[in-house]
Amino acid sequence: MTDIDSSRRTFVARAALATAAAAAAPALAQEGQKQPGAPTAPRAADYPKPPFPVQQQPWPGLASQMTPRPDHGETSYKGSGRLAGKRALITGGDSGIGRAAAIAYAREGADVAINYLPAEERDAREVVELIRSTGRKAVAIPGDLRDEAFCQRLVEEAARELGGLDILVNNAARQQTKPAIANISSEDFDATLKTNVYAPFWLTKAAVARMGPGAVIVNTSSEQASDPSEDLVDYALTRAAVLNFTKSMAKQLAPKGIRVNAVAPGPFWTPLQVSGGATPEKLQKFGSQSPLGRPGQPAEIASLYVAAADPALSYSTGQIFGATGGGGQPA
């Protein structure tokens, strides 16, 4: 055998091995084998289903004290630069859906400011560290959104600290279950309306004054907007208001090049539920009535908040992105 023949056989053998490895790669990926150090993405089939342990927390609740603890995508969300260089303000960014959006935005390349109530500082600190671990800037601004003056300061401070504002996510909400309208005090009603409707109005008004073409506002609505529960009267009406606010503002701001979209979640496992949003009895079977038979995890909706703000979807405004576990969505 000549040296040339030997070299050719070695080359053919190596090529065959490479081809076999390439063919096997998809199968290995389907079996869940990952490269060392890659984040472990939970499978939807592995997410917890009811019944859940009996638990209650004082409003506004902490994700860090929930059982089971929600998945916000801390170890699984992988970005691809869809929001590179953007500057975002997210209300309710300490836990739940807002936290998942903050993690996703940072990993997509955005600098992020989060707002939360002072009582949620413990959860907020975790989010700040998660954002900074991606190499992005994190700004924490605690305060009560029921105060118009604070809402104005919040937008001003976020824009100053981030060097501008490209994305506003109106996500923070108040939800308290009440069996009958007689149980909803004027104080309760006022707190829910100010948190869920007044604050997005005030924040949007302040943000638009600082936004330019290409900016995006993302609101959080709910399946409650079109299929309200009998014990969430005040909360449900605010979600319908946000839905219409989104559509009207999308038309108003289109000539300015500013898009406005909304995300409408179904039942999601967040502190909103364990801090008065559901009765202890309802909480034990929370999400069981959805076609998927469980509540969603915040990590499962984060990508919709990215899509709602993604510059690549520049023709999408006034759109409602739903995630209800098969339960339909508001139109």
* pLDDT tens-digit series, residues 65-118: 999 999 999 999 999 999 999 999 999 999 999 999 999 999 999 999 999 999
pLDDT at 171: 98
pLDDT at 299: 97
The band of 319, judged by pLDDT with boundaries at 50, 70 and 90, is very high
Of the candidates 263, 261, 242, which has an alpha carbon nearest to the alpha carbon of residue 251? Answer: 261
Asked whether residue 21 carries a pLDDT value surpassing 80, the answer given is no
Torsion over CA of 189, 194, 200 and 201, rounded to 10 degrees? 110
DSSP element (H, E) containing 3: helix 3-30
Three-state SS for 46?
helix
Specify which residues 110 forms β-bridges with: none
Domains observed in the chain: 57-323 (3.40.50.720)
Asked whether residue 6 carries a pLDDT value surpassing 60, the answer given is no
Q: Which of 47, 105, 116, 235 is catalytic?
A: 235
Q: What whole-number distance in Å separates Cα of residue 217 and Cα of residue 192? A: 21
pLDDT at 45: 83
* pLDDT tens-digit series, residues 222-234: 999 999 999 999 9
Tokens 């955005």, located at residue: 110
Residues 6+ apart with CB under 8 A from 214: 166, 257, 258, 311
Residue 38, number of CB atoms within 10 A of its CB: 10
Average model confidence (pLDDT) for the chain? 89
pTM equals 0.87
Quick check: is 198 catalytic?
A: no
Structure tokens at 294: 């469980």
The band of 7, judged by pLDDT with boundaries at 50, 70 and 90, is very low
pLDDT at 331: 64
* pLDDT tens-digit series, residues 268-290: 999 999 999 999 999 999 999 99
Helix ranges (H only) for 141-298 are 148-162, 186-193, 199-208, 233-253, 271-272, 280-284
